[in-house]
Amino acid sequence: MLDNQTSDVATVAGEMGQRQDEVRHDWSREDAQRIYDLSFNELLFRAQCVHRRHFDPNIVQKCQLLSIKTGGCPEDCSYCSQSSRYETGLKASKLMALEEVLEGARAAKANGATRYCMGAAWRSPKQRDMPAVLDMVREVKEMGLETCMTLGMLTNEDATQLKSAGLDYYNHNVDTSESHYSEIISTRTFADRLETLARVRHAGIKVCSGGILGLGETDADRIDMLVTLANLPEHPDSVPINMLMAIEGTPLEGAEKVDAIGFVRAIALARIMMPKSYVRLSAGRSEMSDELQAWCFFAGANSIFCGEQLLTANNPGEDADDVLFAKLGLKAEAGG
Residue type present at position 150: T
Rounded to whole angstroms, how far apart are CA atoms 329 and 317? 18
Residue 189 CB neighbour total at 10 angstroms: 13
208 part of the active site: yes
49 part of the active site: no
Q: Which of 46, 63, 115, 148 is an active site residue?
A: 148
Q: Which of 193, 271, 280, 285 is an active site residue?
A: 280
Rounded to whole angstroms, how far apart are CA atoms 105 and 149? 13
73 part of the active site: yes
Query: From the centroid of its chain, how far is CA 157?
Result: 25
Could you give the residue ranges of the DSSP H alpha helices within the chain?
4-18, 29-36, 40-54, 98-110, 130-142, 156-165, 178-181, 190-203, 219-230, 260-273, 290-298, 318-328
296 part of the active site: no
Least Cα distance to 116 among 93, 91, 96, 92 occurs for 96
Going by DSSP bridges, is the β-strand pair 238-243/278-281 parallel, antiparallel, or unpaired? Answer: parallel
Q: Which of 80, 115, 193, 265 is an active site residue?
A: 80
306 part of the active site: no
Rounded to whole angstroms, how far apart are CA atoms 305 and 307? 7
Q: Which of 63, 208, 296, 306 is an active site residue?
A: 208
Q: Which of 46, 63, 73, 199 is an active site residue?
A: 73
Query: From the centroid of its chain, how far is CA 43?
Result: 21
Residue 259 CB neighbour total at 10 angstroms: 12
For residue 184, give every residue at least 6 positions away whose Cβ sits within 8 Å of its Cβ, in sequence order, or none. Answer: 77, 78, 79, 175, 176, 215, 216
Q: Which of 46, 63, 115, 117 is an active site residue?
A: 117
Q: Which of 46, 63, 77, 271 is an active site residue?
A: 77
Active site residues: 73, 77, 80, 117, 148, 208, 280
